[in-house]
Structures are given as structure tokens and as C-alpha cells.
């Protein structure tokens, strides 16, 4: 029998309501499981007697397990290889940024270490982006909302997660209902993440973008644009044929009008493909009426057979300068993190770099509560 994840909110609440149990009992159950991941149901105190019977017969505390844990040599990145109940593997990545690095207004930046979890929403991906390792896997299956939330549970045992980005394996908006439900769980107790600390990335699923703000108000949107014209998008992102650039831009205009939020634009820099000065001007013209932050992403190699090369530092710098100075668009260059453990952008594909493998995760026993 296949058990359900206790973090599948709709499932446990439906079972409780059917049995006449207040569905809000899910919250203390989640809190106890987070604090005691190896617990058995009877250890959870103060539940209605009928709740224990339902939990025993239909749910598991965690349907997934931490298969392997890898740490980058510089200590900034940790990659979790998570085994699902059906034996499939997905990856989540913990990234640690020091917000004090650099200057702001001529003064040192305030802050400290900011920890972000990059979450997967599917096993594999059907989008087929030619620069992305996950796309080479093809599409295997959608994750349930509980399997998505469990990535946060596993990661919270090794780091205090403050931010979530749905930029792992899969296209989040192709698993729309599960992603929305998972985010809603993360926003409530015991996780209590702020919506402004959650970002959902998409290649541009137009019909889903149109619903996102109403379903998840305050959650940030990132768009994997990667080219300023439809022809190049189709060349490197086959799924773009189904979502013409003008329709995508119209949906983003509506999203921004309704949400009053900046939109993050992801742009991978591919040598000789989309990184020339003419492309920077085309991108600037395309986005000059939007409130956006453009994130230029150095291409991360996905094997010796890759058809693409990484843009030169000079090309990336010139590209950024045009967007900033000519079009006054805030533009950043993503710091490459986790390349040595294949945890960098575009590198997520189920693999095990044995020389970095940590055979067992150190249990953290001091997680009293998760007010993230």
C-alpha cells in the first residue's frame, strides 16, 4: 500500500474532516514531525483518538528520505539527493549567501548569512531546454505537494532556511496545483515563511501565470526568458513555441499590474547565441516598460558534449552595462555556486559525485520550532 505524506495538506485535512476531526490538528502534527522526524504516530500527544487510526492506516511522517548529501568545497552550497517513496530521486540545493559582501551607497552592506533552498517540483522536466541538464532526463512524474514540502523538512535539518526558490528540477507551473498547495503550507505554521521570501520560476506557462497572483498573492515570479526574440527562444527552449513571446509579455504585464511587484528575469549567457550587444539592446527594449530585475546567469557546463560555451567575463560585463546605463534596468550577475557538486543553475540531474558524498546526515536535535 502506498502511504500519503502527512504534509499533503489537502489529503490529511480531507481525511480529518470526513472523520469529524478539526483539520487544524494537522498543524501540531507537522510541528511534532519536524522536531522529531523519526517519531511514530502514537508519540504525538493530545490528538483525538480517531486521528491516530487515520494516521496509522493512511499516512507516513515522511514518504521521502535523504539518500545522499554533498557539500561544495567552499562551504556555500549543499546538495540533497532525496529518495521518494516510489524509488525516484530528486535534488534540492541549499545556498548560503553573505549579504554583507560588497558595498551599498559607499558603505558596507548590513545583514548576514541568508540561506535559500532551491526546490524541485517534478522528477525530470518536459520543457527540454537545450542548456539544462534536467531537460536531458525527460519528464518522469509530478511531485505531490507533500513531497515538495518534505524537501524543506529535510533541508531544515541542516540549515535555517529563510528563502525558497522553485528553480530545481521541473517546471513548477506544469505541476500547478501541487506547487500552490505546498507554498500555502510553507506560509502557515509551523513554517511561517513570508510570501516575499518565496519565488516561483517558470519558462513562461502563460495560462498559469495569469492565475498565480490570485492564488498566491505576494509570492514572487521569476521568468526564464533567456532570449529577447522568439526565434532564439525557440532555438534554445523548445517549449517556447507553445508560448509566443508577445503572449508571454502580455501575461507578465497583467501580473505586474495586479500584483504591483517586480518580476525577476532569468537570462542564461550563452557564448555567441544570446550574449552580444545587439541582444542586450533588444532585451532592454523588450523590458523597459516593466519593473524588473534581470539576473544574468553564467552558463554552467553539463558535460563535454554540450553544444554551448560559457560567455566571456567581458561579454557578460558589457551586457550588464548596456542594460544598466542605457535602459536603467537593475541587472545582476549570478554568482556561480555549487558547480563542483553539480548543484549550480542548469546542472540538476540525478547524479552522485562520489568523492563529495556524505554517507550520513548529522542529526540536528535542537530544532525547537521553525519560525523561518
Catalytic annotation, pick one of 11, 15, 91, 266:
91
Q: What is the pTM of this model?
A: 0.87
On whether both 306 and 190 belong to a single domain, the answer is yes
On whether both 104 and 234 belong to a single domain, the answer is yes
Mean pLDDT of 33-56: 95
On whether both 134 and 252 belong to a single domain, the answer is yes
Residues 6+ apart with CB under 8 A from 194: 187, 218
On whether both 23 and 154 belong to a single domain, the answer is no
**Confidence band, pLDDT 50/70/90 cuts, at residue 101:** low
H/E run at residue 213: helix 206-215
H/E run at residue 315: helix 313-321
Residue 192's CATH number: 3.20.20.70
Mean pLDDT of 334-352: 53
Average pLDDT, the chain: 88
Residue after which a domain boundary falls, among 12, 35, 60: 60
Alpha-carbon distances, residue 319 vs 234, 276, 290, 327 (angstroms): 21, 7, 18, 11
Residue after which a domain boundary falls, among 44, 60, 76: 60
On whether both 219 and 352 belong to a single domain, the answer is yes
On whether both 31 and 165 belong to a single domain, the answer is no
Cα gap 160→289, rounded to integer Å? 37
Closest by CA position to 199, among listed 168, 177, 236, 178: 168
**Confidence band, pLDDT 50/70/90 cuts, at residue 304:** low
Cα gap 267→302, rounded to integer Å? 17
Closest by CA position to 307, among listed 299, 315, 298, 317: 299
Cα gap 208→254, rounded to integer Å? 12
**Confidence band, pLDDT 50/70/90 cuts, at residue 132:** confident
Closest by CA position to 26, among listed 3, 55, 53, 4: 55
Q: Identify the pLDDT of residue 112.
A: 72
On whether both 114 and 89 belong to a single domain, the answer is yes
Of residues 342 and 201, the one with the higher pLDDT is 201
C-alpha angle with apex 146: 142 to 149, nearest 5 degrees? 100
Q: Identify the pLDDT of residue 366.
A: 26
Residue after which a domain boundary falls, among 60, 75, 106: 60
**Confidence band, pLDDT 50/70/90 cuts, at residue 103:** low
On whether both 10 and 75 belong to a single domain, the answer is no
Concerning whether 91 is annotated as a catalytic residue, the answer is yes
Q: Identify the pLDDT of residue 344.
A: 46
Grouping H, G, I as helix, E, B as strand and the rest as coil, residue 61 is coil
Closest by CA position to 151, among listed 368, 348, 356: 348
On whether both 84 and 191 belong to a single domain, the answer is yes
C-alpha cell at 33: 514531525
Lowest mean pLDDT among 150-159, 280-289, 307-316, 362-371: 362-371
CB 306 within 8 A of CB 300: no
Mean pLDDT of 205-230: 97
On whether both 178 and 134 belong to a single domain, the answer is yes
Concerning whether 118 is annotated as a catalytic residue, the answer is no
Q: Is the pLDDT of residue 117 over 80?
A: yes
Among 101-105, 193-197, 296-300, 361-365, top mean pLDDT goes to 193-197
Total of domains in the chain:
2
CB contact burial 15-49 (16+ within 10 A = b; e otherwise) = bbeeeebeeebbeebbbbbbeebeeebeebeebee
**Confidence band, pLDDT 50/70/90 cuts, at residue 305:** low
Q: Identify the pLDDT of residue 199.
A: 98
Question: Mind listing the pLDDT tens digit for each residue in 162-200?
Answer: 999 999 999 999 999 999 999 999 999 999 999 999 999
On whether both 313 and 188 belong to a single domain, the answer is yes
Q: Is the pLDDT of residue 343 over 50?
A: no
Grouping H, G, I as helix, E, B as strand and the rest as coil, residue 338 is coil
Catalytic annotation, pick one of 118, 125, 129, 345:
345
C-alpha cell at 146: 507533500
Q: Is the pLDDT of residue 248 over 90?
A: yes
Question: Mind listing the pLDDT tens digit for each residue in 250-299?
Answer: 999 999 999 999 999 999 999 999 999 999 999 999 999 999 999 999 99
Q: Identify the pLDDT of residue 363.
A: 31
Of residues 301 and 323, the one with the higher pLDDT is 323
316 lies in which domain range?
65-369
On whether both 50 and 71 belong to a single domain, the answer is no
Amino acid at each position: 500500500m502506498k502511504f500519503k505524506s502527512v504534509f499533503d495538506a489537502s489529503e490529511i485535512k480531507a481525511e480529518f474532516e470526513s472523520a469529524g476531526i478539526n483539520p487544524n490538528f494537522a498543524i501540531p502534527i507537522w510541528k511534532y514531525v519536524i522536531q522529531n522526524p523519526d517519531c511514530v504516530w502514537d508519540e504525538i500527544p493530545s490528538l483525538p483518538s480517531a486521528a491516530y487510526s487515520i494516521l496509522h492506516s493512511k499516512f507516513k511522517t515522511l514518504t521521502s528520505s535523504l539518500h545522499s548529501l554533498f557539500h561544495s568545497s567552499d562551504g556555500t552550497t549543499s546538495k540533497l539527493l532525496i529518495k521518494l517513496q516510489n524509488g525516484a530521486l530528486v535534488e534540492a540545493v541549499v545556498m548560503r549567501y553573505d549579504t554583507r559582501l560588497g558595498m551599498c551607497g559607499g558603505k558596507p552592506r548590513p545583514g548576514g548569512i541568508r540561506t535559500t533552498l532551491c526546490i524541485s517540483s517534478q522528477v525530470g522536466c518536459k520543457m527540454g531546454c537545450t542548456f539544462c541538464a534536467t531537460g536531458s532526463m525527460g519528464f518522469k512524474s509530478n511531485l505531490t505537494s507533500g513531497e515538495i514540502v518534505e524537501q524543506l523538512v529535510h533541508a531544515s535539518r541542516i540549515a535555517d532556511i529563510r528563502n525558497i526558490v522553485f528553480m530545481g528540477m521541473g517546471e513548477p507551473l506544469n505541476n500547478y496545483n501541487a506547487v500552490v498547495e505546498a507554498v500555502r503550507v510553507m506560509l502557515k505554521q509551523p513554517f511561517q515563511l513570508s510570501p516575499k521570501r518565496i519565488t516561483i520560476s517558470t519558462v513562461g506557462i502563460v495560462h498559469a501565470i495569469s492565475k498565480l497572483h490570485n492564488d498566491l498573492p505576494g509570492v514572487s515570479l521569476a521568468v526564464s526568458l533567456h532570449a529577447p526574440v522568439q526565434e532564439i527562444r525557440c532555438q534554445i527552449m523548445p517549449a517556447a513555441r507553445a508560448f509566443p513571446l508577445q503572449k508571454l509579455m502580455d501575461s507578465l504585464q497583467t501580473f505586474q499590474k495586479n500584483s504591483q511587484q517586480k518580476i525577476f528575469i532569468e537570462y542564461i549567457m550563452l557564448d555567441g547565441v544570446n550574449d552580444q550587444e545587439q541582444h542586450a539592446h533588444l532585451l532592454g527594449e523588450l523590458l523597459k516598460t516593466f519593473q524588473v530585475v534581470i539576473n544574468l546567469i553564467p552558463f554552467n557546463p553539463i558535460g563535454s558534449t554540450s553544444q554551448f560555451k560559457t560567455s566571456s567575463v567581458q561579454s557578460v560585463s558589457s551586457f550588464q552595462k548596456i542594460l544598466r546605463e542605457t535602459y536603467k534596468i537593475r541587472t545582476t550577475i549570478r554568482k556561480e555556486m555549487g558547480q563542483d557538486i553539480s548543484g549550480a543553475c542548469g546542472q540538476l540531474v540525478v547524479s552522485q559525485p562520489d568523492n563529495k558524498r556524505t554517507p550520513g546526515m548529522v542529526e540536528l536535535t535542537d530544532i525547537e520550532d521553525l519560525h523561518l
